[in-house]
Structure 1
Amino acid sequence: MGDGDTHGDGIGDGGIGIRRATTADAAALQPLFAAHRGADEPDEKVDRYRERLDALVENPAHHIVVAELDGRVIGYAAAQDYGPAPHRDWSIARMHDLWVSPDARGHGAGTALFEAVREWAQLHTRIRVLEWQSLDVAADFYRRLGLAGERADDDPRARYELEVHLPSRD
């Protein structure tokens, strides 16, 4: 998927489209960020990330995509390539967020957003591991995608640690 590419899954009247976020999307995404944050306890690091969204959408180490339905932004996913460590020539990418507005769930937007992030990671030759954390509430979503995680027992918020190992492109 290129920077301006979209693809729909045929759901709904206009279908769900996934595309790379632009600086113009920052205003539309802020209410979604606020709704997502409302479901979690405050996290200063995540809030700072979201405040810098307009700069991050142009940063090549970040991949932020939006889901649209009938011209309305209904969800987003945000990932970052951390780059290779000194002892290896491949890198780990982290998915920071994947969220779909509650009124738009159940129509495939979350799956399409996840697949867009996975596709981005697979197309980057240096990324071999895509990792993220999931709250208990989203664990079933990832299980339906065929992904199972390890429960972080010491986390009072019932997080799951998940990762996908991607094929080497060497």
Structure 2
Amino acid sequence: MSETVVVVRPATVADLEGVVACSSALFAEDAGARDLTVNVNWPTERGLAQFRDALSDPHRLVMVAADDGEIIGHLTGRLSGPTPMRPVVVATLGSIYVRPAHRGQKTGAALVEEFRAWARHHGAEYAGVTAYASNEAAVRFYERNGFAIRSVVLETAL
């Protein structure tokens, strides 16, 4: 019996259905459980167009993790800056998801490393990511992958 190898690579148009499915699972699992203001249907309503547009934008990234051709994870990112206030290029990791059956196998770490390489290649000096404070597993994952808490956002309902 041969063991399959997870391949991490830039997404193509053919991958977008799998990216939308992963994004939908992420919204249901994370934002849907932690933020009542998030439209958990966003991936199915608008994700396909957003991810398709990102594929042709050099300042945006869509990566996939594929196991024997099946999309089992994704990562999105974007570049911003420099600006007069922050005169550096910053890469922001927008979303990352790995299907539960494939977690604990370094797939997420491989996606993050490819994101970091893409960011460095495009001149980014810093990378950032936002996670829900209540998602302790995500915070630990990001810390294991070199991110550190640098700021805190506080919110209140009005």
Which residue does 2:28 correspond to in 1? Answer: 38
What SS does the aligned partner of 1:74 have? strand
Where do 5+ consecutive residues of structure 2 fail to align? none
Where do 5+ consecutive residues of structure 1 fail to align? 1-11, 157-170
User: How has the CA–CA distance of structure 1 residues 29 and 152 changed in structure 2, closer, same or farther, with 3 Å as cutoff?
Assistant: same
Identity in percent: 25
User: How has the CA–CA distance of structure 1 residues 140 and 76 changed in structure 2, closer, same or farther, with 3 Å as cutoff?
Assistant: same
> 8 Å contact 1:95–1:131 — kept in the other structure?
yes
Query: Which residue identity does 1:23 align to in structure 2?
Result: V
User: Which runs of structure 1 show a deviation greater than 6 angstroms over 4 or more consecutive aligned residues?
Assistant: none
- Residues 82-126 of structure 1 show CA distances to partners (whole Å, capped at 9, x for unaligned) of 13214665311211001111111111110000000001111112x
The correspondence for 1:123, drawn from 103, 121, 124, is 121
Give TM-score, length-normalised by structure 2. Answer: 0.78
Query: Which residue identity does 2:66 align to in structure 1?
Result: E
Which residue does 2:147 correspond to in 1? Answer: 147
What SS does the aligned partner of 1:84 have? coil
Query: Which residue identity does 1:133 align to in structure 2?
Result: T
CA RMSD of aligned residues (A): 2.6
Give TM-score, length-normalised by structure 1. Answer: 0.73
What SS does the aligned partner of 1:117 have? helix
Q: Cα offset for 1:133? A: 0.8
Query: Which residue identity does 1:100 align to in structure 2?
Result: V
> 8 Å contact 1:23–1:58 — kept in the other structure?
no
Query: Which residue identity does 1:110 align to in structure 2?
Result: G
Q: Which structure: greater helix fraction?
A: 2
Q: Cα offset for 1:142? A: 1.9
User: Structure 1 residue 50 and structure 2 residue 40: aligned?
Assistant: no
Query: Relative contact order: is structure 1 or structure 2 higher (C-alpha 8 Å, sep ≥ 6)?
Result: 2
User: Structure 1 residue 134 and structure 2 residue 131: aligned?
Assistant: yes
Q: Which structure: greater strand fraction?
A: 1
Query: Which residue identity does 2:83 align to in structure 1?
Result: A
In 1, distance between residues paired with 2:94 and 2:61?
10
Which residue does 1:162 correspond to in 2? Answer: none
Query: Which residue identity does 2:42 align to in structure 1?
Result: D
In 1, distance between residues paired with 2:87 and 2:121?
16
